[in-house]
Chain A
Amino acid sequence: MPDPKYAPIVEAAKPTLKTPADVVTLAMTLENVARDTYLSDLNQFTDKKSLMIMSSVMGVETQHLATLRAVAALLAGNAPQLIAIPVDPSRLPAAAGSAGFPDAIPTPKLASPPAEGAVH
């Protein structure tokens, strides 16, 4: 069962997805909510195994988020041809070197509370 708060938001967004940037923006939101939720919940655990699982997943969600931010910046800069692997680094705009991580120390601004997705 998906998160009851965000499932309807995604469903409502689907018909509005017209461009790659639309898809990237929606994906960024979901990854940001996930990363922030994990980060917010880390200090609530009393069980080491659960803490490790959550932090291991968070470490990957945050890479998705950084990548999507960089992709969004390249789309916004009308440089979709640079969204490629491998990329020629010399052709990347300067902003590509910082767009993926706007915060030195991320704070969980978009965290969902633990009870939001709980099965009652």
Chain B
Amino acid sequence: MTEATNDSSNPIIAATETVASRRGFLTISGAARLGLLAAACGSNSTTVGPATSSLSTNRSSPSGDAGIARTAASLEVLAVGTYKAALDAATGGKLGAVPPAVATFVQTAMAHHQMALDAWNGLLTSAGAQKVSTPPTDLKATVDAAFGKVTDVVGAAQLALLLEQTAADTYLVALPLIMNKDAITLAGALQSVDQEHSAILLYVLGQYPVPDVFQKGNRAYTGTGG
């Protein structure tokens, strides 16, 4: 690890140096707005420090672990809803012929995202916060507009890929900001499974399933959630 972190020619090192500060998040995302990750860096501190065992629940601010958990949960709500809409469209014959593998994928991925949502809500409620049941309004509007143009399975798979990559990258970029150990492990696990979903979607779409040497985080959600 020491050798790797001293290698300034390594592109991921350069990327992480950028990501490691609040200013870096805004730079890497290209976002002009404060969003999940920038908000989560609301303090000037850039030190993660030893992970703690309690979830910070400052409900008046989007910053901190609870803010990240709420936004993560809202992304999971959006994923569940979008997969449900795709399933309904497929069942209603609006996507044409649906290959069995794609039908299985949609059902499996939807169940995974529901379990992810339940996990985040479990962390939130155990810390005294409220459950999340609504998606981020800004991203939902974008996804709804895209979904309105979907007429076949390929279009649905491309939209699903966008959602999975967004979720995986959001978890990746959020990880250094989370203090709670359980939340770190949960975010890492969900980053992992969303990357797995992405790989299979890429394969189904005729692309190489592992396109990057390092996951970059450049598709992370940076909206306000409102």
Contact = CB atoms under 8 A, between A and B. Distances in A.
Contact of A101 (B112, B181, B203): B112
A57 B209 contact: no
Contacts of B184: 42-43
- Interface size, B (range): 35 or more
Nearest to A94: B100
Contacts of A95: 101, 104
Interface in B140-177: 153, 168, 172, 175-176
A119 B165 CA distance: 36
B17 interface: yes
Given A70-B200, A104-B112, A59 B172 contact: yes
Given A96-B104, A100-B200, A85 B175 contact: no
Interface stretch (B29-37, B44-52, B129-137): B44-52
A49 interface: yes
Contacts of A107: 189
Contacts of B168: 59
Given A63-B210, A66-B200, A101-B108, 18 more contacts: A42-B175, A43-B184, A46-B50, A53-B16, A59-B172, A60-B215, A64-B210, A85-B207, A85-B208, A87-B206, A89-B153, A90-B99, A94-B101, A95-B104, A97-B101, A105-B115, A105-B189, A106-B192
Interface of A: 35, 38-39, 42-43, 45-53, 55-60, 62-67, 70, 85-87, 89-98, 100-101, 103-107
16 contacts: A42-B185, A48-B19, A49-B13, A50-B1, A52-B20, A55-B215, A56-B12, A56-B15, A67-B199, A92-B204, A94-B103, A96-B104, A97-B100, A98-B108, A100-B199, A105-B189
